Homo-oligomer: A and B are copies of this chain.
Amino acid sequence: MTAAAEQAATSGEQQHQQPSEAAEQQALDGEQVVTPWDVAGGADGKIDYNKLVSQFGCQTIDTALVARIERLTGRPAHPFLKRGIFFAHRDLTELLDAHERGEPFYLYTGRGPSSEALHLGHLVPFMFTKWLQDAFKVPLVIQLTDDEKFLWKGLSVEEARRLARENCKDIIACGFDVARTFVFSDFEFVGGAFYRNIARIQRCVPMNQVRGIFGFTQEDNIGKIAFPAVQAAPAFPDTFPHMFGDRKDVRCLIPCAIDQDPYFRMTRDCASRMGHHKTALIESRFFPALQGESGKMSASDTTSAIFVNDTPKDIRSKVNKYAFSGGGFTVEEHREKGANLDVDVPWKWLNFFLEDDARLAQIGADYSSGRMLTGEIKGELVGVLVEMVERHKAARAAVTDEIVDAFMAVRPMPNLWG
């Protein structure tokens, strides 16, 4: 069938991209909602991350843990770690204990390819994962869930596969080490050992459990109901025999935004029943939309996000027009009271992407005291973003189809560690 026919055939599906009824009710009640598909802040529009940590049952990353990572890797911590952007974890301490004993681990992260180009929020986990790979010298697998976007978003198989390959170029441009990195599309790579692990996981998980975790209903298609096993399987090393043979002792650490936690709670339950180590997680806050942090940036709302293919002019115009400001309403008021950093988006974005700690502290002091104006901090941000996006574009331009093939090849990978 043509791709268009395939999209038409699923027209009844579109409604399932709406928040579930329960999530909608929670949002109406002013409660925050965080699932892999919906993120909405509480009554004040903000995400209460402490509440999330206790609700999900993960742990906060404290300064002692950051210091331990610096000691183990011999490197200063990545800004995302120092500044509490990656702020929560599961079993990271156990993973580091094992690493100190000389036991191997690998990294697993992924991307659902639903848009042509990535936006900056999409880059956050990849930037951090690259740092983890360099710092620990470990293998990495990157899952492109073209099947997920096919099942949820009404894309045709062909379009989902095309976007997976396009997104792969942006991911490679983040600088991963081809000798230690395997990127795969589900539609290409699932089968054999991977499919066997999917079936093992599926047998551990009854329908009522995925209903409880993900809010699936009787109207959801059976692919969605089965899909959590597809996202869980890469957390077990024997899913990748060309990398790890049939070893089961290799641990897995997953860097991700905290909304993906439900998948991996399920994965950890299955791990023990299947004779694997429990998967460890290191989880980030959300990268806020330009309009404020009441949700994630949306790739479908281009005014909420900066994309890696935006021009400098696009960037300047979006930041000036849409970035929510915590500054005073008038220059006089601002000079007197200063800015409210808690809600100011340019300040939050600089915390993600301005690497110079001293400069960041200076901007914080000047802006919150009213010495620096909103226009000025936006100018600082535009400078940082333009430099970052231009650097990304140059790196991506160097990613040929042959390089994509090299990362995606199922190949012997003899030098995965050290």
Chain A residues close to B by CB (< 8 Å): 1-2, 5-6, 9-10, 13, 147, 150-151, 157, 186-192, 194-196, 198-200, 202-208, 210-211, 216-226, 228-229, 248, 273-276
B13 touches A203 (CB 8 A): yes
- Given A6-B200, A151-B202, A273-B9, does the pair A207, B222 have CB atoms closer than 8 Å? yes
Task: Report whether over half of chain A's contact residues are helix, strand or loop; otherwise say mixed.
Answer: helix
Residues on B with C-beta less than 8 A from A190 are 190-191, 195
Residues of chain B contacted by A151 (CB below 8 angstroms): 199, 202-203
* Chain B residues with CB under 8 A of A217: 207
Q: Which residues of B contact A5 (CB under 8 A)?
A: 275
Q: How far is the CA of A188 from the CA of B224 in the complex (A)?
A: 23
Contact of A195 among B186, B224, B276 (CB under 8 A): B186
Selected contact of A157 from candidates B150, B200, B220, CB within 8 Å: B200
Query: Could you tell me the distance between the alpha carbons of A253 and B198 in the complex, rounded to whole angstroms?
Result: 30
* Contact status of A207 and B220, CB under 8 A, knowing A1-B274, A275-B2: yes
Interchain CB contact under 8 A, A206 and B218: yes
Q: Chain B residues near A150 (CB, 8 Å)?
A: 199-200, 203
Q: How far is the CA of A71 from the CA of B151 in the complex (A)?
A: 46
A209: nearest chain-B partner, CB-CB = B222
Could you show 19 A-B contacts with beta carbons less than 8 Å apart?
Answer: A1-B274, A1-B275, A6-B200, A6-B275, A10-B203, A147-B195, A147-B199, A150-B199, A151-B202, A151-B203, A157-B200, A187-B199, A195-B195, A198-B223, A204-B221, A206-B221, A207-B222, A208-B218, A222-B226
List, in ascending order, chain B residues with CB within 8 A of A211's CB.
218
Residues of B within 8 A of A6 (CB): 200, 274-275
Task: Pick the contact of A199: B191, B223, B275 (CB < 8 A).
Answer: B223
Q: Which B residues are CB-close (under 8 A) to A189?
A: 191
**Distance of A5 Cα from B275 Cα, bound (Å):** 8
CA distance A228 to B222 in the complex (A): 9
> With A and B bound together, what is the CA distance between A41 and B76 in angstroms?
74
B222 touches A205 (CB 8 A): yes
State whether A195 and B191 are in contact (beta carbons under 8 Å apart), knowing that A210-B222, A225-B225 are contacts in the complex.
yes
Contact of B199 with A207 in the complex, beta carbons under 8 Å: no
Contacts of A196 in B (CB 8 A): 157, 187
Decide if B199 touches A192 in the complex (CB within 8 Å). Answer: no
